[in-house]
Structure 1
Amino acid sequence: MTYSISDLSRELDITTRAIRFYEEQGMLSPERRGQERIYSPRDKVTLKLILRGKRIGFSLAECRELIELYDPSGNQRQLTSMLAKIAERRSQLQQQLLDIQQMQLELDTAEERCTQALAELAPLPATAQE
């Protein structure tokens, strides 16, 4: 079975421009029939792997590296590398979460100080000034 660029675009909910970009990056290699691109099932799987990698925060270079490790006779190296990248990404996300929580605390403190300063600057009600 083969796929046109519009087939893949529709099926994977991705723009044809994005597919052409991945092709320009050397990650997809469709056959050509004149101007028409003909994608193989392997191209479709590769594109799915790229999209999955991007969703979980892998760079394009990391996606390429994982795809290049694929070995039809056994993909132990690919899976081991994927697990290492997952652990690294999880660690990065944990650090980002801690950074966000710290920033929220700092925002809370700044907000509290501003609110307090505004309350101190507010004019007294008319009855209290008399």
Structure 2
Amino acid sequence: MQQSTRTWSIGELAAEFDTTLRTIRFYEDKGLISPERVGTARVFHPRDRVRLQLILRGKRLGFSLDEIATIVDMYDSSPGERGQLEFLISDIRQRKAALEQKRQDLEEALAELDELELRCRQDLESLPDPRRQR
């Protein structure tokens, strides 16, 4: 199987992933990606492109940069992709459970507010209307 020799400039990746040059440089500064340098130009290889794609996906899903670094780094070391996927599955389960709890909390709060609003309306209707007593 032949390795891809395609490379990208920072501008090409920014356009492809609809992000800014500054964002890509930030991820480089954090050590999440490490493009080759040719003079002052950054040259991104397929590995860099995949890592950037994973980073941006992780951000969209609400992962912190530390969590993203763990996930991305797992892919390159033992236990590799299997460990990465197992970690992700575990993390996804935890996130889903937290979101389900938030949903339940919101539903309970909304029900309490509905009940309070109903009681306030009933109390309001039982009071004399000062506008009608003139």
TM-score in same-fold range (> 0.5)? yes
Which residue, out of 101, 107, 111, partners 1:101? 107
Residue 86 in structure 1 maps to residue 92 in structure 2:
yes
Residues matched between the structures, number:
128
**What RMSD, in angstroms, separates the aligned Cα atoms of the two structures?**
2.4
Query: One-letter code of the match for 1:57?
Result: G
Q: CA deviation at 1:71?
A: 3.9
How far, CA to CA, are the matches of 2:36 and 2:123 in structure 1? Answer: 68
How far, CA to CA, are the matches of 1:50 and 1:44 in structure 2? Answer: 10
Q: CA deviation at 1:72?
A: 7.3
Which residue, out of 37, 41, 47, partners 2:42? 37
Structure 1: where are the runs of 5+ without partners? none
Instruction: Give 1:1-130 correspondences, 5 Å limit.
Output: 1-71=6-76, 75-121=81-127, 123=129, 126=132, 129=133
Query: One-letter code of the match for 2:81?
Result: N
C-alpha contact 1:31 1:39 (8 A) present in aligned 2:
yes
Paired-residue identity, %: 45
- TM-score, with structure 2 as normaliser: 0.80
Structure 2: where are the runs of 5+ without partners? 1-5
